[in-house]
Amino acid sequence: MPKGDAEIAAIATVVALALRGGCGIYESLTHALAGACGSVANSLDKAVKLLELGLPLVQALRVFETECDSPAAKEFSLKIQTANNFGASLADQLDDLAQTIRSQLAIAELSSATAAETKMLLPLVFLILPVTVLFALYPSLQILNIQLEGTL
């Protein structure tokens, strides 16, 4: 997953909360960007500034999509456009988007943790375990060696 997806999830959550609080799309976006930092926030800030200059919402969001170039950014933009065109509940859609992104990030982290766990087993199996077996067997081998020398 791209690095900015977690940032998109956080921005989507703040925008959804602002929308539920009674703000419009523009106010919600500016409210979310007030505390955000990062590449996604910078790209979205450019789109909001283009909205201030009078560019239509669809074109401003296309600028955001091209700068971010991630599937999550495209979905974020598409959900805003769909809600604007068809009157769907944007807050619910953004909450679902944020939950989806967070679950995808959790799955990616879990798979990388599983790979790291397997790599951590290699020193245990090939280094620590053989040394432990040698420490356990060495006294017995010494006693056998002494007894064999005494019988010969």
- With vertex at residue 88, the alpha carbon angle to CA 17 and CA 48, rounded to the nearest 5 degrees, is 55
- Percent with pLDDT over 90 in the chain: 55
**Res 124 pLDDT > 90:** no
pLDDT band at residue 41 using 50, 70 and 90 as cut-offs: very high
- Closest by alpha carbon to 32, among 48, 14, 50? 14
Selected residue with higher pLDDT from 152 and 33: 33
List the beta strands (DSSP E) in the chain: none
Which of 23-27, 56-60, 146-150 is predicted with the least confidence, judged by mean pLDDT? Answer: 146-150
| Rounded Cα–Cα distance for residues 3 and 1 (Å) | 6
Average pLDDT of span 20-40: 91
